[in-house]
Amino acid sequence: MIKFILVLKVCYAAAQFCGPGIESTMTYDSFYDCGVAGYKHAGEIIKSLPPEQVNRTQTFIKFYCFEKPKELTPSNKIEKGA
């Protein structure tokens, strides 16, 4: 089953800058679930900041979901020389 990872970035339109991505420790079973969580977390982050700061820096939250790479297991590892 494909899993998805959420990455959020705090951005500042006034400075045309985004901070480094913050990767969620949770995985999501669908792109839909990841997207809903992204909007929820983005709203929580904005609400946690002082309104004056958000207005001055024009802060916004950018997020995206990407497929979690498959982990290697004994059954899907390729042996060298094979």
Report if pTM > 0.85. no
33 burial (CB, 10 Å; 0-12 / 13-18 / 19+) is middle
Give residue 78's pLDDT.
Answer: 53
Give residue 72's pLDDT.
Answer: 55
Confidence of residue 82 (pLDDT cuts 50, 70, 90): very low
Give residue 70's pLDDT.
Answer: 73
- Domain ranges (residues) in the chain: 4-67
33-76: pLDDT as tens digits? 999 999 999 999 999 999 999 999 999 999 999 998 776 555 54
